[in-house]
Structure 1
Amino acid sequence: MKRKFAGAIAGLALVGLLGGCANPSIDGASGPAAEDDIVAAVQTVEEIAAMVPAEYRERGGFTISINADVEPIKFVDDEGNIAGFNPDLLRAAARVLDLQPEFQEGTFDAMVPGLEAQRFDAIASVADFVERQTHIDFIDYLHNGTGIITSTTFEAEEITLEDLCGLSVGFARGTSQQVSLETVSADCETAGEPAISVNGYNDSAAGILSVQSGEADAFWGDYPQVAYNAQVNPDAFQVVYEEHTSILGIGIHKDNPELRDALQAALLHLVEDGTYDALLQRWGLQELALPEMAINSDISIER
């Protein structure tokens, strides 16, 4: 059960350790150096670029809200660059469209309501759940899941959700893990067990650091991030629980179908020309590939 995708993330083991900072350094995987190769090689495709609405052509770009705290999916590196698989993928798609992506950093819990209020053009990215599709369409680009990370001094290497009763467990505010923890805690009390001490953090990196510092027994977050941290710092962290029942999508407001379709076409082109696979390999995420780029997909998400 433990670290089902460890082989996919193993290639990241040599790139740095979490140590005392929130975002490890990834040599050659962010900023201008990265764009000298895979992303910079992407060319504009006139037929796809012609799909871009006039508003964005006049602006020359589009705005993207991002919570850059989920390495290796999206994070801020030591040089202050927004890095990771998702930003690389969106930068490459923007090159196909002959546009400039403008990333706006924010907290996770502000992303969905912000897009619903049309304060930016896209969100990068969140799990595609049906309840989020009222005002948002998702271009689904990566398998996802959740995992619980603890220190290596924790008493067990694998746990069930029932084992969380009485523990202190963190989550990033606004994520599905918040609801899951509240549900499991209520089940604990119903069974006559102590409730979970639930701790909310503004971002996932802070939650993981709470485990390292001993402030919390565990942190429940996105599987790629917790697996990454356990892989690059195995003396400090271990993944004790995992499930793979969700997918990540790039969100576009439902009132913006032309931008959605143009971006989807650009992403499908990146699948066809091999850029998508190259970026998956760069970030050690090959096992999570979802190349269909479906909108609000009704595909099997079992892993």
Structure 2
Amino acid sequence: MTAGSTRRTTAAHSRLAAVGAIAVAGALILTGCGDQTKDKDKSSGSSSAASAPLADKLPASIRDKGVIKVGSDIAYAPVEFKDNSGKVVGLDPDIAAALGKQLGVTFQFENGTFDALLTGIRSNRYDIAMSAMTDNKSRQDGVDPATGKKVGEGVDFVDYLTAGVSIYTRKGDTEGITSWSDLCGKKIALERGTVSNDLAKAEAKKCPSGKKLTIEAFDDDQQAQTRLRSGGADAASSDFPVAAYAVKTSGGGKDFEIVGDQVEAAPYGIAVGKSSTQLRDALQAAMNAIIKNGEYEKILQKWGAEDGAVKESAINGGK
């Protein structure tokens, strides 16, 4: 989920394969359930530090604990979500598990609301945040995109994928919506703190008098989907992979359809505190290792994410 204000450039090529290519077996769309920050799931195993090739790159404190605490909004299928057994699964957990093999640690996913994840890093609740988070200058600099004011020290990002933003509607009931400019006079449901939210706010300022764009922002994407499904909104917006997954799976593919092209293509990044430079560099080294050994490509293929692949992990590559 692309929060902050990375105004991604329009690009139909920018992310995952088409809706039909989201190959996820036995997946489910979870219903919205509010803030679940107390839920914890150890969802990505690792080899022991002794046999892990990059273990010595980690800070000693993390290497000794053997755990990296990950803040994540675990209701964003197919990037991260819980399966029928309650296990955390998805693209991010699989990548984290691969990184764990390189670093000799376990990535422990802890569920939280998306707009509070960076605060969780600042308060040392999490070591990192990995939650389909867009790497952008606002987050890097700790600036509120709505006001332009400094709200924190910011974070660094270890980039690992590229994604765009999509609008979707109830199937067969598009209300004539094909782009963001068609939303004036309509109501859109989305997740709070995301680029979808930023784009909607920006579009609302352009709407003429008498054609207000109403924005309903929720704690998680599943709540926004539920609102649209029930007829409480005309459209919803999220990152393309999530929108495509919802279209493919919700109601057996009968609930939603994507309208228009995805926009604002930008990198997903693992967020790390500014002072955690050794951890940041270790994560980048591990990411580049799994890109080189082919494990990264296999994970992306599993989740239909090949079109979002990067050739090399960058630090703070977002604009």
Give TM class, smaller chain.
0.7 to 0.9
Deviations 1:110-132 (A, max 9, x none): 01222133321000031001011
d(CA) in 2 for partners of 1:179, 1:19: 24
Which residue of structure 1 aligns with residue 122 of structure 2? 116
Per the alignment, do residues 168 and 289 of structure 1 end up closer, same or farther by CA in structure 2, a change over 3 Å counting? same
Q: Does 1:205 align with 2:222?
A: yes
Q: 1:62 to 1:18 in 2, by over 3 A?
A: closer
Change beyond 3 A, Cα 1:177–1:14: closer
Query: What are the ranges of 5 or more consecutive residues in structure 1 without an aligned counterpart?
Result: 24-30
Report the equivalent of 1:285.
305
**Which of 22, 30, 36 is the matching residue for 1:12?**
22
Contact 2:28 2:83 in 1 (8 A): no
Structure 1 CA distance, aligned partners of 2:30 and 2:92? 24
Q: Are the equivalent residues in 1 in contact too, given 2:158–2:313 (CA < 8 A)? A: yes
Partners in 2 of 1:158 and 1:42 — Cα distance?
52
Q: Secondary structure at the match of 1:165?
A: coil
**1:87: how far off?**
0.8
Deviation of 1:40 after TM superposition, in Å, equals 7.6
Q: d(CA) in 2 for partners of 1:227 and 1:3?
A: 13
**Is the alpha carbon distance of 1:2 and 1:114 closer, same or farther for their aligned partners in structure 2, counting shifts above 3 Å?**
closer
Secondary structure, counterpart of 2:54 in structure 1? helix
How far, CA to CA, are the matches of 2:90 and 2:48 in structure 1? 17
1:218-237 paired onto structure 2 within 5 Å: 218-232=235-249, 233-237=252-256
Report the Cα distance in structure 2 between the residues aligned to 1:99 and 1:17, rounded to whole angstroms.
Answer: 27
Q: Distance in 1 between matches of 2:316 and 2:265?
A: 15
1:72 counterpart = 2:78: yes
User: Which among 245, 249, 252 is matched to residue 265 of structure 2?
Assistant: 245
* 1:18–1:229 Cα contact (<8 Å) kept: no
Corresponding letter in the other structure for 1:264: Q
- Measured against aligned partners, the alpha-carbon deviations of 1:202-241 in whole angstroms (never above 9, x if no partner) come to 1011111211111111111111100111133432211113
Cα pair 1:42 1:92 within 8 Å, conserved: no
2:79 pairs with 1:63: no
1:261, distance to aligned residue in structure 2 (A)? 0.9
Residue correspondences, number? 286
**Alignment match, 1:28:** none
90, 115, 119: which is aligned to 1:84?
Answer: 90
Q: Name the structure 1 match of 2:187.
A: 168
Displacement of 1:53: 1.0
Structure 2 residue aligned with 1:148 = 167
**In structure 1, what residue type is equivalent to 2:202?**
T
- Farther-moved stretch of structure 1 (8-17 vs 84-93): 8-17
User: Does the 8 Å contact 1:143/1:246 carry over to 2?
Assistant: yes
How much has 1:19 moved relative to structure 2? 6.9
Matched with 1:130 is 137
Secondary structure at the residue paired with 2:206? helix
Using the TM superposition, give the Cα deviation of residue 244 of structure 1 relative to its aligned residue in structure 2, in angstroms.
Answer: 4.0
Q: Distance in 2 between matches of 1:53 and 1:14?
A: 35
Q: Which residue type is aligned with residue 148 of structure 1?
A: I
TM score, norm. by length of structure 2: 0.81
The CA deviation at 1:173 is: 1.0
Query: Do the aligned residues in 2 keep the contact of 1:12 with 1:284 (CA within 8 Å)?
Result: yes
**Could you tell me which residue of structure 2 aligns to residue 159 of structure 1?**
178
Tell me, yes or no, if structure 1 residue 48 matches structure 2 residue 54: yes
1:94-109 correspondence to structure 2 within 5 Å: 94-109=100-115
Distance 1:2 1:151 in 2: 23
Q: Is the 8 A contact 2:19 2:247 kept in 1?
A: no
Measured after TM superposition, the shift of residue 48 of structure 1 is 1.3
SS at match of 1:70: coil
5+ residue gaps, structure 2, are 1-9, 34-40, 142-153
C-alpha contact 1:107 1:203 (8 A) present in aligned 2: yes
**What is the TM-score of this pair, normalised by structure 1?**
0.85
* Equivalent position amino acid for 2:298 in 1: A
Where does residue 233 of structure 2 map in the other structure?
216
Identical-residue share of aligned pairs (%): 28
- Matched-pair contact (CA < 8 Å) for 1:13–1:231: no
